[in-house]
Amino acid sequence: MALLTLPTRPIEGQRPGTSGLRKKVAVFRQSGYLENFVQSIFDSLEGFASQTLVLGGDGRYFNDRAIQIIARMAAANGFGRVLVGQGGILSTPAASAVIRARGAFGGIILSASHNPGGPDGDFGIKYNAGNGGPAPESLTEAIYRRTLTIDRILTVEAADIDLGRLGTTALHGMTVEVIDPVADHAALLERLFDFDAIARLIGSGRIRLKFDAMHAVTGPYARAVLTERLGAPPGSVINDVPLPDFGGGHPDPNPTYAEELMVAMFADDAPDFGAASDGDGDRNMIVGRRFVVTPSDSLAVLAANAHLVPGYAAGLKGVARSMPTSAAVDAVAKALGIACYETPTGWKFFGNLLDAGRITLCGEESAGTGSDHVREKDGLWAVLFWLNILAVRGESVEAIVRSHWQRFGRHVYSRHDYEGVDAPAAQALMARLRERLASLPGQRVGAFVVAQADDFAYTDPVDASVTSGQGLRIGFEGGSRIVFRLSGTGTEGATLRVYLEAYEPDVAKHGIETQVALAPLIAAAESLAGIRAATGRTQPTVIT
Ligand code: VG1
Ligand code: CO
């Protein structure tokens, strides 16, 4: 087995976005593309000689090839051990759990998460540090800078590893251990939740559940936990076989893309509890019978009911949410007398707060919820948290959310996405609005008067690092707000996200359909930003 030093040249455009580097599969398959980025990761790290690297992905097209390439490079760069999920599979939260449980130096996760897969779809890669969490901005920027100067790649000449068989093999002096992708994560979840109570609830027949794995990575995890351990009957976990192209679907757990689940949950004989997860298993959607729980509300409900769950019975240290996420959890934090932090979009910004013990729960409006048990959002964790609450309270999903609104008021919330729009046009829309921010306060926009407007900047309370340009916030008198942001995970054109939020304390108005309740705010967003004229779209692509 020869050690090879292969010359290479920098490739442009390898700057990680909200969550790692995501590009079309065709881009990643270009000669040297993956290799350059992986070598840039290794060149930006120090002290990993003889240490352990965790490696796995969501099973999408090119996952298996990429694993072989990265394992050879890890050996050449001096890692002592690579732990790889069987079949190359590790959900994002499971990878985080494995890194932490095994004391690894870090991990590489292969995923483009909710983006479609297959030969014409997307691929992605990101580095997670020894805390199990996504690399902080300082590291992703260092990796990017390295991609601009890289001139050689280290690899070894070796046969492919057999990813199908559990056990260890040697690779150029490094050990490769193929591990069960589910075991560490499932054991961790079992310590946090009252599995016996959930199993009793399911076994009693008092609730029927349906989990849609969307042909993505959570199939094996959901089968092991929901079916085998908790006794959910056959048919409870659907689309549970991971496919390299996710069956041609869009593995994004929202009412638009998780269509099969939505049809089931709105049928006459609908189950009581429905859930779905995304490509890499870190997102979750929670649905009651004919009732969708908004992710921002879900975070707030989990925080308000955390004392009912064994792993959190001792109380929450604090909570955090990404800036565009609704303030529903803020209201809970206030009632509990705990801190609530507002961070930029992307899980990497929760890492310091979790490591410093300032927060226990955190979440994002994009269907991500998690806690200090790992350093990623965790889809199956959220599902079990809800099931644990249902087991204790014995009420329906809808009843739990409605009584939550009754107590805290309803933060009526929606996100409108304009996907794949012309990038320069979207950037120009943002630039025009950014220029007007300072002049907006005091101005009337439709039914509203602007109270404050800014471009969100965040100073990390732990390490004082500053991140700016994180979304245009326009707050109105009375507490409603609109946020405009461009996505940092897409691979085609630009995606404009418009986040809409209004606070409704009046219980009599809680039943109003969300889009109807938000109609005046939707009109205000159009008049502020001129979305139709700039994008040529009359409707959002996806409404969540
Ligand atoms: C989106 C979401 C963000 C999430 C990110 C990664 O980012 O808005 O909240 O953290 O995806 O999630 P953006 O930049 O496209 O808005 V995942 O499940 O795709 O890793
Ligand atoms: Co994801």
- Tens digit of each residue's pLDDT (9 = 90 or more) over 315-331: 999 999 999 999 999 99
296 lines ligand 1 (CB under 6 A): no
91 alpha carbon – ligand 2 mean position (Å): 9
Mean pLDDT of the chain: 96
> Best of 366, 483, 496, 544 to mutate for ligand 1, by most ligand atoms within 8 A of CB?
366
For residue 56, give both structure tokens.
């796995």
The predicted-structure confidence for 160-215, as pLDDT tens digits, reads as follows 999 999 999 999 999 999 999 999 999 999 999 999 999 999 999 999 999 999 99
321 lines ligand 1 (CB under 6 A): no
Alpha-carbon separation of residue 290 from 225, 263, 264, 283 (angstroms): 25, 9, 9, 20
Distance of CA 484 to the CA centre of its chain: 19
Q: Which of 437, 493, 439 lies closest to 469, judged by CA?
A: 437
Contact (Cβ atoms closer than 8 angstroms) between residue 422 and residue 534? no
284 alpha carbon – ligand 2 mean position (Å): 9
32 lines ligand 1 (CB under 6 A): no
Q: Which of 274, 255, 278 lies closest to 264, judged by CA?
A: 274
For residue 399, give both structure tokens.
């009843």
Dihedral angle sign, alpha carbons of residues 261, 56, 84, 127: negative
Contact (Cβ atoms closer than 8 angstroms) between residue 458 and residue 467? yes
The predicted-structure confidence for 262-316, as pLDDT tens digits, reads as follows 999 999 999 999 999 999 999 999 999 999 999 999 999 999 999 999 999 999 9
Residue nearest to atom 2 of ligand 1 (CA): 366
Within 13 A of 359's CA, how many CA atoms are on the CB side?
28
Alpha-carbon separation of residue 208 from 220, 381, 430 (angstroms): 20, 18, 45
CB atoms within 5 A of ion ligand 2 belong to: 113, 278, 280, 282-283
Contact (Cβ atoms closer than 8 angstroms) between residue 450 and residue 463? no
489 lines ligand 1 (CB under 6 A): yes
283 lines ligand 1 (CB under 6 A): yes
87 alpha carbon – ligand 2 mean position (Å): 19
Atom nearest to 17 CA in ligand 1: 14
The predicted-structure confidence for 452-480, as pLDDT tens digits, reads as follows 999 999 999 999 999 999 999 999 998 89
Q: What string of H, E and C letters represents the secondary structure of 188-245?
A: HHHHHCCHHHHHHHHHCCCCCEEEECCCCCHHHHHHHHHHHHCCCCCCCEECCCCCCC
Q: Torsion-angle region of residue 176: left (phi > 0), alpha (psi -120 to 50) or beta?
A: beta
Alpha-carbon separation of residue 542 from 250, 282, 523 (angstroms): 12, 20, 17
| d(C-alpha 374, C-alpha 132), whole Å | 7
Q: Which of 527, 481, 529 lies closest to 502, judged by CA?
A: 481
Q: Is the pLDDT of residue 366 over 80?
A: yes
| d(C-alpha 104, C-alpha 394), whole Å | 41
DSSP-derived letter for residue 1 is: -
Atom nearest to 367 CA in ligand 1: 9
Q: Is the pLDDT of residue 69 over 80?
A: yes
Residue nearest to atom 17 of ligand 1 (CA): 113
Euclidean distance between the first and the last CA atom of the chain, given in angstroms as a whole number: 52
- Calculate what percentage of the chain has a pLDDT beyond 70: 100
408 alpha carbon – ligand 1 mean position (Å): 27
Residue nearest to atom 6 of ligand 1 (CA): 19
| d(C-alpha 176, C-alpha 54), whole Å | 10
- For the segment 61-87, the average pLDDT, to the nearest whole number, is 97
76 alpha carbon – ligand 2 mean position (Å): 30
429 alpha carbon – ligand 2 mean position (Å): 28
411 lines ligand 1 (CB under 6 A): no
19 lines ligand 1 (CB under 6 A): yes
What SS3 class is residue 149?
A: coil
113 included as an active-site residue: yes
Contact (Cβ atoms closer than 8 angstroms) between residue 96 and residue 3? no
- Calculate what percentage of the chain has a pLDDT beyond 90: 95
115: number of Cβ within 10 Å: 24
Percentages helix, strand, coil for the chain, rounded to the nearest 5?
A: 35, 25, 40
Catalytic residue among 111, 113, 277, 326: 113
439 alpha carbon – ligand 1 mean position (Å): 30
Residue nearest to atom 10 of ligand 1 (CA): 346
The predicted-structure confidence for 119-157, as pLDDT tens digits, reads as follows 999 999 999 999 999 999 999 999 999 999 999 999 999
Q: Which of 500, 493, 492, 480 lies closest to 534, judged by CA?
A: 493
Please tell me the pTM assigned to this model: 0.94
The confidence score (pLDDT) of residue 288 equals: 98
Paired strand residues for 5: 154
For residue 250, give both structure tokens.
């869009």
User: β-strand 167-171 against 174-179: which pairing, if any?
Assistant: antiparallel
Contact (Cβ atoms closer than 8 angstroms) between residue 138 and residue 127? no
Which ligand has its closest atom nearest to the C-alpha of 544?
Answer: 1
Residue nearest to atom 16 of ligand 1 (CA): 487
| d(C-alpha 258, C-alpha 428), whole Å | 32
| d(C-alpha 124, C-alpha 118), whole Å | 12
364 lines ligand 1 (CB under 6 A): yes
- For the segment 76-94, the average pLDDT, to the nearest whole number, is 97
236 alpha carbon – ligand 1 mean position (Å): 27
DSSP states of 295-347 as a string? HHHHHHHHHHHGGGSGGGTT--SEEEEETTS-THHHHHHHHHT-EEEEE-SSG
User: β-strand 291-293 against 284-288: which pairing, if any?
Assistant: antiparallel
Residue nearest to atom 4 of ligand 1 (CA): 346
- For the segment 333-354, the average pLDDT, to the nearest whole number, is 97
277 lines ligand 1 (CB under 6 A): no
Q: Is the pLDDT of residue 1 over 70?
A: no
